[in-house]
Amino acid sequence: MNNKLNIKVLKSENDFAGYDDDQIIKHFINEYSYNGNAPEINITGDIINIVITDDSIIGVYDDYSKALYYCRDNKLDEAKSLLEEIIKKCPLFSEAYRILGQISYQRGNNDEAINYCIDALRANPSNAWALLLVGNIYNVQQDYKTALDFYKKIISYHGDNAIALNNIGTMYYKLNEKSTAKDYFERSINKDPTYLNAYQGLALTLADEGDFTEAYHIVNKGLDVGIDKPQDPGVRQKLEVLKKSLSDYIATISDDDREIEMANYRKAHPDGEDPNETLMMSMYMECALEELSELPDKAKKAAAMQIAQQGLHGIRPSNDGYKIKFFGDREFNGYALIAYYYVSWALAFPQDLDKLGLPYKKAFNLAKNRYDSKKH
């Protein structure tokens, strides 16, 4: 009868953002399988229970754990020696080869790293970290099509994964297939809304397509909801730099360009022509009137000017996630923010309201009549 080794891991102490439980189970099966023997894994709340029954893995587990600690402490020589001993005892232990590949990669020995990863994939073709590492190496070597093949294998074996999806998007971006790149960046964000790298990739792609307003919105959203990850240092700083560059560029757009943009918007949203849009906007405007009408003039003007700042960078009706400092952490969708834009200026700067060029006079009159009827 085989021995058993029980291991407990906490999800909260590992970077599993964007992973569902099935993907976490696949991850540990990938790590602790040997010669076709997979561990038993179940998840209860935050606790991942791993039961290893293969005697070969049990026999080297202490050394394997020690090698991982050596890697974390950057004691790479000690880690390499232990891993080489492990392979002598368990020549089909995929993760041991993969970590040797990681050590070689950190030391700049890319060819050696690829060879170790090939050994890892011979032992376990679905080793996601080995596939990722080989893809990263080919990316560094500017062989984007080969890198793409390895990243796609991760998806084929393990389903959608934010890192792999982002890397696929990056390869398509570098291959100048911007539309496909955008799709993969969006899939990455949908899988893990906190993954900063994907926001950076999507914003750069949108900017390359000339959609600077939407790129600015994506950067802001990423900075707001994204989480810094130890393996990706500096991404937030890059997004901050990109935000400033986009802001500076948008500020250079001429008044003529803005008027053309507003004329196109008015043409697409003629005042009162769509009764559903008019009713919806009037409801948002009524909420704005209820919230802003009784405020002091100074507060009305502060709200109006802060919304106008966002207006300079563009407000898309179909987007959501807009934040205005005056309203705290509240998020607005595009239509709601445009409604508040109109109402705040109607209250704070009525003499300049027509200069906004927003085609919602009928919606405002409808909202104002309802609001006034409630007051009397």
pLDDT tens digit string along 209-221? 878 878 888 998 9
Contacts of 197 (CB under 8 A, 6+ apart): 163, 166, 188, 232, 235
What is the C-alpha separation between 91 and 97, in angstroms, rounded? 9
Residue type, 156: S
Q: Is 270 left (phi over 0), alpha (psi -120 to 50) or beta?
A: beta
CA dist 293 → 149, 288, 368, 372 (Å): 58, 8, 11, 11
What is the C-alpha separation between 117 and 111, in angstroms, rounded? 10
pTM: 0.67
Q: Which one-letter DSSP state was computed for residue 356? A: G
Q: Looking at the predicted structure, is the pLDDT value of residue 99 above 80? A: yes
Closest CA to 244 of 280, 211, 220, 224: 220
CB distance 90 to 34 below 8 Å: yes
Give pLDDT, residue 196. Answer: 93
Closest CA to 64 of 44, 36, 87: 87
CA 331 to chain centre: 18
Q: Looking at the predicted structure, is the pLDDT value of residue 110 above 50? A: yes
Place of tokens 């085609």: 359
What would the pLDDT profile of 152-198 be if each residue is shown by its tens digit?
999 998 888 899 999 999 999 999 999 999 999 999 999 999 999 99
In a 10 Å sphere around its CB, with 0-12 CB exposed, 13-18 middle and 19+ buried, how is residue 63 labelled?
A: middle
Could you tell me which residues are beta bridge partners of residue 206? none
CB distance 48 to 41 below 8 Å: yes
Confidence of residue 47 (pLDDT cuts 50, 70, 90): confident
The pair of structure tokens assigned to 314 is 């563009």
The pair of structure tokens assigned to 168 is 């696929």
What is the C-alpha separation between 251 and 313, in angstroms, rounded? 8
What would the pLDDT profile of 251-301 be if each residue is shown by its tens digit?
665 555 555 555 667 777 788 888 998 999 999 999 999 999 999 999 999
What is the C-alpha separation between 153 and 182, in angstroms, rounded? 20
Closest CA to 125 of 103, 154, 101: 154
Confidence of residue 356 (pLDDT cuts 50, 70, 90): confident
What is the C-alpha separation between 167 and 171, in angstroms, rounded? 6
In a 10 Å sphere around its CB, with 0-12 CB exposed, 13-18 middle and 19+ buried, how is residue 354 labelled?
A: exposed
Write out the residue limits of the CATH 1.25.40.10 domain(s) in the chain. 169-252
Percent of the chain surpassing pLDDT 70: 92
Q: Which one-letter DSSP state was computed for residue 195? A: B
Within 13 Å of residue 94, how many CA atoms lie on the same side as its CB? 25
CA dist 262 → 255, 265, 314, 340 (Å): 10, 5, 10, 17
CB distance 184 to 174 below 8 Å: no
Contacts of 338 (CB under 8 A, 6+ apart): 281, 315, 317, 358, 360
Residues in the chain: 376
Tell me the CATH class for 169-252: mainly alpha
